[in-house]
């Protein structure tokens, strides 16, 4: 388990770097091709924190479907963590995910965004400026603790064209598994 260091990530208000990644459907997806607000989050298949938060993240993606684009990015080193291979991502997506699940095999996108932890959420406004960076809810060390849904509040603020009250919330989770 690690805790995020925001000095290494995208700053609030900065324009999010574009990406061009393959989705589990086989399509190539670019952030710049989406219009309006978006949630970009770094995730994977095996992290216990991701697994613990997954149901609530999916519920939010469904609640905001059609109003906010959702992109889950797996940047983990699949050679060392086979559960995070593209093939395993495709298997996981077959069960139906309410977001676009993307593979970052070179980790260029994770590096450009300063991703450090899974799960790590970024909420972008309609111009793809970072409005929120952090965890899903007020739970700090374990998803079962629940608490105020910081991600929902940030999305609602962006949809209302306001700055979220909380713009950064420290994250505890599994480290991104960097290439050796």
Whole-number pLDDT of residue 143:
52
Confidence (pTM): 0.93
Please give the CATH topology (third level) of the domain spanning 2-175: Glutaredoxin (3.40.30)
Query: For residues 114 and 162, what is the distance between their CA atoms, to the nearest angstrom?
Result: 25
Tens digits of per-residue pLDDT, 55-111? 889 999 999 999 999 999 999 999 999 999 999 999 999 989 999 999 999 999 999
Q: Which residues contact 5 (CB under 8 A, 6 or more apart)?
A: 116
Task: Extract the tokens encoding 20.
Answer: 């061009």
Query: For residues 165 and 168, what is the distance between their CA atoms, to the nearest angstrom?
Result: 9
Query: For residues 146 and 82, what is the distance between their CA atoms, to the nearest angstrom?
Result: 30
Tens digits of per-residue pLDDT, 131-145? 999 998 866 545 555
Q: What value does the mean pLDDT of the chain take?
A: 92
Query: Domain-by-domain residue ranges, the chain?
Result: 2-175
Largest Cα–Cα separation, the chain: 43
Residue 39, CA distances (Å) to 32, 67, 69, 85, 178 in order: 13, 11, 6, 23, 22
Query: For residues 74 and 118, what is the distance between their CA atoms, to the nearest angstrom?
Result: 9
Whole-number pLDDT of residue 144:
54
Identify the CA nearest to 174 among candidates 10, 48, 72, 40: 48
Q: Is the pLDDT of residue 150 over 70?
A: yes
Whole-number pLDDT of residue 137:
83
Q: How many residues does the chain have?
A: 180
Q: Is the pLDDT of residue 5 over 80?
A: no
52: confidence class by pLDDT, cuts 50, 70, 90: confident
Whole-number pLDDT of residue 2:
62
Q: Please write down the HEC assignment for all residues of 120-138.
A: EEEEECCCCEEEEEECCCC
């Amino acid at each position: 388990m690690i805790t995020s260091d925001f000095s290494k990530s995208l700053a609030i208000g900065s324009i999010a770097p574009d990406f061009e990644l393959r989705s589990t459907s086989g399509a190539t997806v670019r952030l710049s091709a989406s219009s309006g607000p978006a949630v970009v989050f770094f995730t994977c298949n095996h992290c216990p924190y991701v697994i613990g938060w997954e149901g609530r993240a999916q519920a939010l993606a469904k609640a905001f479907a059609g109003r906010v684009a959702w992109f889950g990015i797996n940047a983990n080193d699949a050679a060392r963590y086979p559960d995070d291979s593209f093939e395993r991502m495709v298997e996981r997506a077959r069960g139906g995910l309410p977001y676009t699940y993307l593979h970052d095999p070179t980790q260029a996108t994770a590096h450009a965004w300063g991703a450090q932890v899974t799960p790590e959420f970024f909420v972008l406004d309609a111009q793809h400026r970072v409005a929120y960076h952090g965890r899903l809810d007020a739970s700090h060390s374990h998803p079962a603790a629940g608490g105020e849904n910081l991600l929902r509040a940030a999305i609602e603020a962006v949809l209302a064209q306001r700055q979220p009250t909380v713009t950064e919330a420290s994250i505890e989770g599994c480290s991104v598994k960097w290439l050796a």
